[in-house]
Homo-oligomer: A and B are copies of this chain.
């Protein structure tokens, strides 16, 4: 079930970054993915101050990404474990690691490789793709308003995107027709002109 604890921004990336948008948070998730569960181990592996660690772990529990469970069936000690919501961050973590491998390492300095367990083969770099599995580059994508696009804070983003794209001819998408909101004020009072048959 979706959690809606945080925040006011309608954008999914902004909401995600309200949870994940600092260095330590995603590194804590990386540690959890690699099997770290105990407070002392997080502190030791990351060299993070204990008060900062304590606050970050509490925030991740609060937001449903980690939960506290017994370390093992025989133990009374509790450790932090990824919830399904936390495990579902795998695509974010993997694409972040792969970008770092491509741009922030030399071939000789890449420290970890992600392989398919069954075959031992290195997995390919993640890219957006279509349903047929064809990789899509930036120029192959369009951004269209979704059901929640009526928010004026999204409208400003969409308007910027439309004005950038307006000089480039694009085919009419076969997707269902998108919201045809009338012109409406943006957050700063400017009126954003929107075409009734808007194609992003």
Contact = CB atoms under 8 A, between A and B. Distances in A.
A97 interface: yes
Contact of A3 (B104, B122, B129, B131): B104
Secondary structure call for the A interface = mixed
A90 B146 contact: no
B111 A148 contact: yes
A17 B12 contact: no
Nearest to A17: B23
Contacts of A175: 115, 120-122
A146 B110 contact: yes
Interface size class of A (residues with CB under 8 A): 35 or more
B22 A174 contact: no
A125 B94 CA distance: 14
Contacts of A94: 128
A28 to B, nearest CB: 11
A185 interface: no
Contacts of A24: 21
A187 B36 CA distance: 16
Contacts of A188: 44
A85 B100 CA distance: 10
A155 to B, nearest CB: 9
